[in-house]
Structure 1
Amino acid sequence: MASPYSSTEETTNANRICRLILGPCTDELHDVLCHFVPPQALSHVIHVFHVNQKKPGRGLPLTGPQRDLILPRNGSYTGNYDDMDISLLYILLRNICGIPSHSNGWGNDPDPIDYSPSACIERIRLARNQCVHSPTSSLSNTEFSNIWSTIRSAVVSLDTFLSNGCKYEREVDFLRRETMDPVRDKHYQEELKKQVQEDLKTREMVTNLKRKMEENAEKGVGIENR
């Protein structure tokens, strides 16, 4: 009798999407960030971003580990972006690169016909979330085909933006045919889950910060009216 934990076509679908997101998609977003901000300029660009914020508390919504990575206490960032995951890449691409928002605004589903850089970045982030939030860590063939097609279109558009000769489109097509190893590939889902948890922490931080700012503003009004 087959084990209830045996690999199925549906779990293989989910693992294949995870490999796609953690591999070519993440590497392509590394390249997009580098296109706008070379690694050696990152610390300066972040400093300028913070200085230009008109309201206090409007800095980058970073978790502790993210801040330690890109804003080290001793010196400037000296990495090459390969150590950044999609959660951190999305924050930086959205906030410090000057990329125009897609028609529905950052953080929202893009219009189906919108393939601007921000819309493609958004689609990759949303596909990651959709894969992670699958209740059974599996995807039907229909779900898999839809997500894969969405991601591939986003990757192709970003390839065009980067003028890199279809570099990541080829990697996407390779992974579609690549043999999967259930034991080896299980860690891809675990890594994506960690990234989504980081996103949730970031959102909670932003919500708490907004609440404190509103409370402080109310207190300020009260004092002025005495």
Structure 2
Amino acid sequence: MASTSYAATEEMTNINRVSRLLMDPCTDQLRDLLRFYIPPANFNSVIQMVKSQLPHLTKLQWKLILPNSGVYSGNYDDMDISLLYILLRNVCGIQAHNKGWGNTPDSADRSIAANIERLRLARIRCGHSTGGMSNAEFKQVWSEIRAAVVDLDKALRIGNKYQEVVDFIRNDTMDPTRDRHFRDQLLKQITETENIKKDVHSLKRKTERNDEQVNEVIQKMKNLESSQQRMNERNIPLNIQDCLSRAEPSRYPVKVLRTNVVLKRC
């Protein structure tokens, strides 16, 4: 009798179904959204103007959009959801939602940016649900994704194109082997994103430490200059200090070259 320890559970079926939703129609919808703002024919000229403003990308992402030789010649079908989010956020001029890019939007905010954010957050949530997804959580996540897809369909003026696909996948039979592929691809993307975040954090800490060291050197120099000034003042005889304090700098500029020079009169 075959062991049931590796049989697909309802929780794993739920997480695989959401993974399939995010990796297929949701990613395709974001590709259409990028085409809506930047036609592929204009992509290279746009990316050249803003490449210095892009956040850290993986080597594969950089190589894709800025190849060492030639230019990007695709139509966005080769871009994953992670890269699409970065480009939509940083290149397309889409106004940030009310909580700002990278944050959870208000439930009442149905802006384009808010719905893009919801798809990103759903992907992260899906990636962290390693043990599967309960029916209650699945219904909530699916409802949020579907609502975002409906809103983005309206923004793209394409009728119910992706909403219909979402509804189809909701009731479609699941192939464990096929859907495990979607799950693995999603986890791979999340891992790459997390690695970039770690690299950026490490670089930021190194920069902060360097800044602290520079500030320490500057402060030491200031302290040394202040100490030297106090020493010079102590070495100037009182009668000279009195003369210097009563002199008008604009009419009688005085420059003390050596502290052991004694002026006989003012």
TM-score scaled by structure 1?
0.90
2:41 alignment partner in structure 1: 40
CA distance in 2, matches of 1:6, 1:38: 45
Report the Cα offset of residue 129 of structure 1.
1.1
CA distance in 1, matches of 2:57, 2:148: 26
CA distance in 2, matches of 1:156, 1:30: 15
2:247 alignment partner in structure 1: none
SS in 1 for 2:139: helix
Report the Cα offset of residue 41 of structure 1.
2.0
- Quick one: which of 119, 124, 130 aligns to 1:129? 124
Gaps of 5+ in 2: 222-266
1:84 alignment partner in structure 2: 79
CA distance in 1, matches of 2:50, 2:216: 32
Percent of paired sites with the same residue:
51
**Is the 8 Å Cα contact of residues 50 and 91 (structure 2) preserved in structure 1?**
yes
Report the Cα offset of residue 216 of structure 1.
4.7
Q: Which has the larger radius of gyration?
A: 2
The structure showing larger relative contact order (alpha-carbon pairs under 8 Å, at least 6 residues apart) is 1
2:11 alignment partner in structure 1: 10
The one-letter amino acid paired with 1:185 is D
Seen in structure 2, the aligned counterparts of structure 1 residues 7 and 100 have a Cα distance that, compared at 3 Å, is same
| 1:61 and 2:76 correspond | no
2:182 alignment partner in structure 1: 188
Report the Cα offset of residue 16 of structure 1.
0.8
1:112 alignment partner in structure 2: 107
SS in 1 for 2:199: helix
2:250 alignment partner in structure 1: none
| 1:171 and 2:165 correspond | yes
CA distance in 2, matches of 1:150, 1:140: 15
Report the Cα offset of residue 218 of structure 1.
4.3
Report the Cα offset of residue 131 of structure 1.
1.1
Report the aligned-residue RMSD: 1.8
Q: How many residues align?
A: 219
TM-score scaled by structure 2?
0.77
**Is the 8 Å Cα contact of residues 54 and 90 (structure 2) preserved in structure 1?**
no
Gaps of 5+ in 1: 52-57
